[in-house]
């Protein structure tokens, strides 16, 4: 049995290494390309590690692409706005579904799961019509509201599982001490579900930061576009791809996602496990 266990662990480890390489190899290729000169990028044979690290591509992004900061800060505003809606709504709805029994609770859970099962592209045309009527096209709010609605179901399920794990004795003690339901939720229970909030934050952040279809459809002008839509349009005057500059722009756009994941990674795995196993 110990031999079989070691063999199984080795196979799992090997699969994990191969999968990680497949996922990370393109990212590292982009990062290394961003530090190469134009001559080295087009040289044959191709090189993986730069012969000499240069910063010209990053300087070109800062000085030669005036649209890039616009795309970047539009993405930041939309992402933070979505998080400001998703996190409190997920926490409150997850608390209600995880701590209370009431008529229709099962129906609500089934409805949330059904929404997750529907491809989000189904909502594209109806939302476009609604936003056109409400004059929300080409505005940050026109992206924040759909993004919040699409990411809220998963956030509710994760937070519901997180709140459900908390022993009822803690809630009873808070009530005995005179705390009202809002104080119990905010000051006693919510600090205990940081892992769930971290998981919701990362899932939502990545989904919004990289979303393309809604941003491409609802954002009509250059001044309102996000990185996912704006980056493919960054070309040099000759209309050919500037791979070094584009790689530098992609590297900069990946930094916020990397920072968020590194900061919250300890809580992320535990939060995902709660939502998937005990939810």
Give residue 201's pLDDT. 92
Give residue 93's pLDDT. 92
> CB-based contacts of 193: which residues, under 8 Å, 6+ apart?
91, 94, 159, 162, 163, 166
- CA–CA gap between residue 175 and residue 125 (Å, rounded): 48
Give residue 59's pLDDT. 83
Is residue 71 domain-shared with residue 168, that is, in the same domain?
yes
Is residue 162 domain-shared with residue 195, that is, in the same domain?
yes
> CB-based contacts of 75: which residues, under 8 Å, 6+ apart?
209, 226, 227, 228, 253
Is residue 49 domain-shared with residue 163, that is, in the same domain?
no
Is residue 44 domain-shared with residue 92, that is, in the same domain?
no
Give residue 238's pLDDT. 39
59 assigned to some structural domain = no
The residue from 9, 34, 54 where one domain ends is 54
124 assigned to some structural domain = yes
DSSP designation for 164: H
Q: Is it the case that residue 240 has pLDDT exceeding 70?
A: no
* Positions of E strands within 155-204: none
Chain mean pLDDT for the chain = 83
188 assigned to some structural domain = yes
Is residue 50 domain-shared with residue 73, that is, in the same domain?
no
Count of domains forming the chain: 2
The residue from 54, 77, 93 where one domain ends is 54
Using DSSP's 3-state secondary structure scheme, residue 257 falls into helix
**Read out DSSP for 80-128?**
HHHHHHHHHHHHHHHHHHHH---TTHHHHHHHHHHHHHS-GGGGHHHHH
Give residue 148's pLDDT. 94
20 assigned to some structural domain = yes
155 assigned to some structural domain = yes
Which residue did the predictor score with more confidence, 4 or 238?
4
Is residue 140 domain-shared with residue 166, that is, in the same domain?
yes
Is residue 162 domain-shared with residue 229, that is, in the same domain?
yes
pLDDT 10s digits, 158-174: 999 888 888 888 887 87
Pick the range with the lowest mean pLDDT from 56-70, 82-96, 151-165: 56-70
Would you place residue 85 in the very low, low, confident or very high pLDDT band (cuts 50, 70, 90)? very high
119 assigned to some structural domain = yes
254 assigned to some structural domain = yes
Is residue 72 domain-shared with residue 186, that is, in the same domain?
yes
Is residue 130 domain-shared with residue 218, that is, in the same domain?
yes
Closest CA to 264 of 213, 181, 201: 201
pLDDT 10s digits, 32-65: 888 888 788 877 787 778 888 888 888 877 777 7
**For the chain, how many residues are written?**
279
Is residue 142 domain-shared with residue 18, that is, in the same domain?
no
- Containing domain of residue 31, as a range? 1-54
Mean pLDDT of 204-211: 91
Would you place residue 273 in the very low, low, confident or very high pLDDT band (cuts 50, 70, 90)? low
Residue 166 belongs to domain with CATH number? 1.10.3720.10
- CA–CA gap between residue 25 and residue 167 (Å, rounded): 44
Is residue 32 domain-shared with residue 90, that is, in the same domain?
no
Q: Is it the case that residue 4 has pLDDT exceeding 90?
A: no
Q: Is the dihedral of CA 44, 49, 53, 56 positive or negative?
A: positive
160 assigned to some structural domain = yes
Give residue 279's pLDDT. 45
Mean pLDDT of 61-74: 82
Is residue 115 domain-shared with residue 89, that is, in the same domain?
yes
Q: Is the dihedral of CA 9, 14, 17, 20 positive or negative?
A: negative
């Amino acid at each position: 049995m110990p031999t079989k266990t070691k063999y199984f662990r080795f196979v799992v480890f090997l699969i994990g290494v191969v999968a990680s390489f497949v996922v990370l190899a393109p990212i590292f290729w982009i990062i290394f390309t961003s530090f190469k000169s134009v001559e080295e990028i087009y040289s044959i044979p191709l090189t993986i590690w730069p012969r000499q690290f240069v910063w010209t591509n990053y300087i070109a992004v800062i000085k030669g692409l005036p649209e890039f900061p616009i795309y970047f800060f539009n993405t930041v505003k939309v992402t933070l706005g979505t998080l400001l809606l998703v996190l409190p709504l997920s926490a409150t709805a997850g608390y209600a579904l995880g701590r209370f029994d009431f008529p229709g609770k099962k129906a609500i859970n089934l409805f949330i799961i059904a929404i997750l099962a529907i491809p989000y592209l189904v909502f594209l045309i109806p939302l476009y019509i609604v936003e056109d009527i409400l004059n929300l096209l080409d505005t940050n709010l026109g992206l924040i509201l759909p993004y919040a609605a699409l990411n809220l179901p998963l956030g509710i399920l994760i937070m519901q599982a997180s709140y459900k794990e908390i022993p009822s004795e803690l809630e009873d003690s808070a009530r005995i001490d005179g705390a009202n339901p809002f104080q119990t939720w905010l000051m006693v229970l919510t600090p205990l579900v940081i892992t769930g909030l971290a998981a919701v934050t990362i899932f939502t952040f990545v989904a919004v930061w990289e979303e393309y279809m809604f941003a491409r459809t609802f954002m009509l002008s250059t001044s309102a576009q996000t990185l996912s839509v704006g980056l493919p349009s960054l070309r040099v005057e000759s209309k050919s791809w500037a791979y070094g500059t584009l790689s530098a722009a992609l590297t900069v756009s990946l930094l916020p996602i990397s920072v968020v994941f590194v900061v919250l990674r300890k809580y992320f795995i535990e939060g995902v496990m709660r939502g998937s196993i005990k939810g």
